[in-house]
Amino acid sequence: IKIKDCNLLLETKNPLIIDVRIKKAFRKERLIGAISAPDKEKLKESLKSTDKNTPILVYCEEGSRSRTAAEIICDEFHFEKVYNLDKGIKDWKTKGYPIDSK
């Protein structure tokens, strides 16, 4: 999903936002409202009680790791509304969109 479309998704669909970067990167900065799932076990745990109709936005630093995570979420956990942030948080910040760094 392109950044502009991602912003619209965040504003209108209230997706579950999953950051698949390592914990250190997540603690430094993240999309507002994101949860951390740096490995498959944490990913599985974070989806356990999530409704299958919930839109899910997955991102990483540049979009590659999150693409793999999005495929896993679709193929193994059977969610259908899964979006990968194209070019990741790096491009999100470059374009001036807000991040949480507290």
Q: How many Å is the Cα radius of gyration of the chain?
A: 12
77-98 pLDDT tens trace: 999 999 999 999 999 999 999 9
The number of C-alpha atoms within 13 Å of 8 and in the hemisphere containing its C-beta is 5
What DSSP string describes 5-33? HHHHHHHHT--EEEE-S-HHHHHH-B-TT
pTM for this prediction: 0.96
8-60 pLDDT tens trace: 999 999 999 999 999 999 999 999 999 999 999 999 999 999 999 999 999 99
